Amino acid sequence: MKESTRKILKKYGWRIDLFIHEYIYFVFYVPYVRTAIYLIRFVYRFLSWCKPLVKITADFIFNMYHGKVITPKDMKKIITLDHDFSVTGDENKMIFPFSNSTKIIFENPGLIVVMDCPCKIVSKSPCRPINACMAIGDPIASFWLEHCQKYNPKIMTSNEALEHVRKLRETGHIQQVFSKRSGRGNTYAICNCCKVCCTSLKGTKAAKKADRNLSQTVSSGYSVMLDKSKCDLCGNCVKICQFEANEIREGMLVYDREECVGCELCVEHCPNGALNIYLDCERKILPLDIDMVGKMSG
């Protein structure tokens, strides 16, 4: 048995069923995601008329598997983390408001591995680059290296990882830290996502047809503020937004705070500095800011 397999088995203890799911999930990443996409298409095409059924199904899936949007600043803190980090208290619920998300853990975070994204692989016209999934630390990073060679895992330094993320953001990718119930509520990977390829974002879009409040993506905790005096309606923020939160209407930029997840893409792509993010206390969701979370946990 490979060392990374042993670590994951130890992590799950007597829950062999969760270990088997985790093993299948990563070793057969692409067929797993392809199946999920087919299910989303099926529900969207044939069951969207039954909104209660869509809501129940989406609630179940989203509570099992979900992503937390993080800003570039918070992403940098995770990538440059130089010590093990673990927070397992109730404060996590203010960051991941799902019942099955209970642990924010980065073990051996200096080991950063980037791997081909299954969502992009199964997409007919994928965005580039393909290697957009990131594991920060063990046991997942080591498991990818030992078991997932067909998906081209590659070790990166923190500087290489930061540059990789920067380039992905230039093409409209947001960053999500994912957690799932079968992973015992642990954070386990950071995905660079876009609405063209990402299964998670597609699932949310389909679910919102039934209920606007349904989402597999948790807000970063930030919202956007507009300085109208600096805005020349160039439309960059409209084009780059993955959530259709910006719209030019009747000669004005209209911002939909409810659709915004605070990813900061529009801020970065505004040539005039007309947009800024701020911590939105009304959302009652905190950022995954390593410094802030560490202080909260005492």
**What architecture does CATH give domain 222-279?**
2-Layer Sandwich (3.30)
Residue with tokens 């969760």, as numbered in its chain: 18
- The residue length of the chain stands at 298
State residue 183's pLDDT score: 58
Under a CB-based contact definition with an 8 Å cutoff, are residues 105 and 187 in contact? yes
CA 280, CA 233: separation in Å to the nearest integer? 24
Report the run of H or E that residue 276 belongs to, with start and end. strand 275-279
State residue 80's pLDDT score: 95
Per-residue pLDDT of the chain (298 residues; tens, 9 = 90+): 788 888 878 877 778 887 888 888 888 888 888 888 888 778 777 777 777 877 787 777 777 778 899 999 999 999 999 998 887 777 777 888 777 666 788 889 999 999 999 889 888 778 888 999 999 998 889 999 999 999 999 999 999 999 999 999 999 999 999 887 655 557 778 999 998 888 888 888 878 877 888 888 889 999 999 999 999 999 999 999 999 999 999 889 999 999 999 999 999 999 999 999 999 999 889 999 988 887 776 6
Residue with tokens 């990538």, as numbered in its chain: 79
Nearest to 103, CA basis, from 119, 92, 114, 116: 92
- Any residues with CB less than 8 A from the CB of 77 and at least 6 apart, and which? 289, 290, 291
Residue with tokens 């109208």, as numbered in its chain: 228
- Residues of CATH 3.30.70.20 domain(s) within the chain? 222-279
- Any residues with CB less than 8 A from the CB of 181 and at least 6 apart, and which? 63, 64, 65, 100
